[in-house]
Amino acid sequence: MTPSLIPTAFLFAVVVSFALPLFSEPLAVRGIHLAAPAPAEMALAVRFIEQALPKEGANVLVLEFNYHVQFTKRPEVIDEDALSLDQVRQLAASCRSANIRLIPMINLLGHQSWAKKTFGLLRAHPEFDETPGKYAGNRGIYCRSYCPLHPQVHEVVFDLIDELLEATGADAFHAGMDEVFLLGEDDCPRCRGKNKAELLAQEVKVIHDHLASRGKEMWMWGDRLLDGTTTGIGKWEASENQTEPALRLIPKDVVINDWHYDQAHPTAAHFAVSGFPVVSSPWRRTSVALAQLEQIRDAKAHSSSAIGERMRGMLQTTWVGFGPFVQAYFNEGSAPSAEAVEAVQCFRELFREMRATNRNPPK
């Protein structure tokens, strides 16, 4: 066909198909995950929320509080540097004034310890431990887990969730649940011999149903829902302890945070095709973050609307502490670590690219 005979409608369709990524709507989630600030960092936190996040185009802030809150219902679990409930309310008020959706987080099931330190829940309630009496000083394990079948554990966990949601006024809660290696252990009298995927799925459903009864959305990390062996992704960013089948057993409205830090594995599409809303989560490699963003844009441009709508956006992680990240962002304080510098650079470049989503919009 000669150029003069190419129909105008065909030319328009070709132009539009190439331009789709440029004309796409802003992503529903343009977020960042940070550890909650220490009490001494409150002024820095308010400044970052009210000035930096709107400037960068962020609309979601996941704050990982864990047990660093002065809970009144369960004061026995409080860890050091705990924020008062008034300070938590102040953070929530700053987010509202900046049009930022605050999603509070307590890392549940796994990550109940780090190195030699056991965190508040199992320190106060050692009876909840999945491996009771084992691993003195936490030697020989990555992190402790609580037993999801202990008959009293959810009474405590739900009190913590509810108090944090009440203080923040949030419409969603992040339950963590990443890197759970101790589950269905022979050392646990309740979990011994049980299917690990079913144990994980049951815990997800218990937390989900509690949140749903209060009209709240559940978010969680997605690594335990991927097959690390079949994909070759490995045991950290995916599972090699037989938890992956839980994906087919949990409610489809759980928001999966699909974290990958060294390679942009195309697993967000896997979650979306499986029926789940999904958010891609990079850390400090800009090339990975931008590749994840491109995968989302491609899915939205070239797949069904059902799949495209489930690809909600991006959640940048930081993992250097609130103060170190924010001070590096503002170029303040002492010399930042290399990881803080890389995380800030990734954050800046990812959000710059997301702000460019609507560049050259059609008239």
pLDDT score recorded for residue 334: 87
Given a cut of 90, is residue 361 above it in pLDDT? Answer: no
Confidence of residue 25 (pLDDT cuts 50, 70, 90): confident
Given a cut of 50, is residue 309 above it in pLDDT? Answer: yes
312-340 residue pLDDT tens: 999 999 999 999 999 999 999 889 999 99
86-137 residue pLDDT tens: 999 999 999 999 999 999 999 999 999 999 999 999 999 999 999 999 999 9
276-303 residue pLDDT tens: 999 999 999 999 999 999 999 999 999 9
pLDDT score recorded for residue 333: 86
Percent of the chain with pLDDT over 70: 91
pLDDT score recorded for residue 357: 65
pLDDT score recorded for residue 26: 87
The CA-atom distances, in angstroms, between 215 and each of 29, 170, 193, 212 are 19, 10, 35, 5
pLDDT score recorded for residue 6: 41
pLDDT score recorded for residue 238: 98
**12 close to 57: Cβ distance less than 8 angstroms:** no
pTM value? 0.92
237-261 residue pLDDT tens: 999 999 999 999 999 999 999 999 9
Given a cut of 60, is residue 359 above it in pLDDT? Answer: no
Q: Which residues contact 155 (CB under 8 A, 6 or more apart)?
A: none
pLDDT score recorded for residue 17: 41
**263 close to 236: Cβ distance less than 8 angstroms:** no
Cβ neighbours, 10 Å, residue 155: 10
Confidence of residue 12 (pLDDT cuts 50, 70, 90): very low
Given a cut of 50, is residue 22 above it in pLDDT? Answer: no
Backbone angles phi, psi at 249, to 5 degrees: -120, -5
> How many angstroms separate the first and last alpha carbons of the chain?
30
Q: Which amino acid is at 282?
A: P
133-182 residue pLDDT tens: 999 999 999 999 999 999 999 999 999 999 999 999 999 999 999 999 99
Average pLDDT of the chain is 93
pLDDT score recorded for residue 354: 97
pLDDT score recorded for residue 202: 98
**61 close to 104: Cβ distance less than 8 angstroms:** no
Q: Give one DSSP letter per residue of 187-228, joined into a string.
A: T-TTTTT--HHHHHHHHHHHHHHHHHTTT-EEEEE-GGGSBH
Given a cut of 60, is residue 358 above it in pLDDT? Answer: no
**194 close to 120: Cβ distance less than 8 angstroms:** no
pLDDT score recorded for residue 14: 39
201-232 residue pLDDT tens: 999 999 999 999 999 999 999 999 999 999 99
